[in-house]
Amino acid sequence: MSLINFYKNKDGFSLIELIVVIAIIVILAAAVAPNLSWFVKDAKEEELIAQGKVVLISTETKIADLRKTATDTGQSLQDLVNLKKDEILKDAELIGQVDPETFFIEVKNRQLYYFEFVLEGQYVCYNDGEVYVNKTSQSGNSGNLLSAYQFLVYKGTNLF
């Protein structure tokens, strides 16, 4: 028996069977796709929180370094920390990604009380011992925290 005759005698799938299988695959894909978008969103939020924790460590380290300087010079610790925002972001390896103008730090009782900054169009905040991602500013400075570009990114505007 030749190879050509072998393939001629084999029955394949009918067109209806193929359409049914494709329809089932499409239905399954439509059911799974929304769940995948949640996974991507959650992963992005977790990444921002992780970066916020790096900024938290960097900020607390800088505050610890500046406490003695503030005591010795009589300057406000808050003012010194505000002057060192660039160094904090540099230590956290976010100096190119976060505009220092969006980085708000609040010190109370010589301890870090609150911070927030805008990263990838989201506010990354620290409060009550926890880093979280928020869509709006909690510091009351929302008028000057977002640049025009960041506002458009936050609103989902495609610039390109």
pLDDT in tens, 65-107: 888 888 888 888 988 888 888 888 888 888 888 888 888 889 8
User: Is pLDDT above 50 for 149?
Assistant: no
Q: What pLDDT sits at residue 154?
A: 47
The string of DSSP codes covering 57-117 is: HHHHHHHHHHHHHHHHH---HHHHHHHTHHHHHHHTT-TTTS-GGG-EEEEETTEEEEEEE
Q: Write the CA distances from 22 to 1, 12, 16, 17, 142, integer angstroms.
A: 35, 16, 10, 9, 50
pLDDT band at 23 (very low <50, low <70, confident <90, very high): very high
Sign for the pseudo-dihedral over CA of 107, 113, 142, 103: positive
Residue 20 confidence (pLDDT) above 60: yes
CA distances from 67 to 1, 54, 73, 96, 103 (A): 92, 20, 10, 27, 20
Mean pLDDT of 55-73: 87
**At 133, phi and psi to the nearest 5?**
-110, 135
**b/e map 90-127, b = 16+ CB within 10 Å:** ebbebeeebbeebbbbebeeeebeebbbbbebbbbbbe
Kindly tell me if the per-residue pLDDT of 137 is higher than 70: yes
| Predicted structure pTM score | 0.62
What mean pLDDT, rounded, does the chain reach?
79
Strand order in the sheet with 111-119: 104-108, 111-119, 122-127, 130-134
